[in-house]
Amino acid sequence: MSKVLVLNGPNLGRLGAREPLIYGSTTHADLVELCVGAGKELGLDVEVRQTDTEGVMIGWLHEAADEGIPVVLNGAAWTHYSIAIRDACSQLTSKLVEVHISNVHKREEFRHHSVISAVADGVIVGLGVDGYVLALRWLAGQR
């Protein structure tokens, strides 16, 4: 089974409680279950992680780069300004899919730009948590 990391950035641990009109009622625990279950169906060993600490995320991206592990990344707020996260993403040696639960282009102007998109293989926005499953399906087809 191929390993895939699903990495979630700041505030995503509060899914279900944080702005449900924007992010829905799915909790982070529900998201983990969804991704791991979809992964099993696709023959992927999916590990879902979440952190509010930028250095931890960079360490996980370095791990993925060193081990050639594909990544599904929701960088959350870091998407819009963290050159450090972008630089860590640029070192990945396997596929990267950037995912956002909400349609960032229908939101505040500062959310319209991603520093990560330029180094991602694909970007999925605005499809809710289904975007994660779509990213995993695409990665399963890349093996």
Is 80 annotated in a binding site? The answer is yes
What are the pLDDT digits (tens) for 72-121?
999 999 999 999 999 999 999 999 999 999 888 887 786 778 999 999 99
CA distance 76 to 127: 15
Is 2 annotated in a binding site? The answer is no
CA distance 38 to 42: 6
Averaged pLDDT of the chain: 94
**What is the distance, to the nearest Å, from the Cα of residue 19 to the centroid of all Cα atoms in its chain?**
19
State the pLDDT confidence band at 143, using cuts at 50, 70 and 90. Answer: low
- As annotated, the active-site residues are 23, 100
Is 87 annotated in a binding site? The answer is yes
Is 105 annotated in a binding site? The answer is no
Nearest partner of 124 among 96, 94, 88, 143, judged by Cα: 96
**How many domains does one find in the chain?**
1
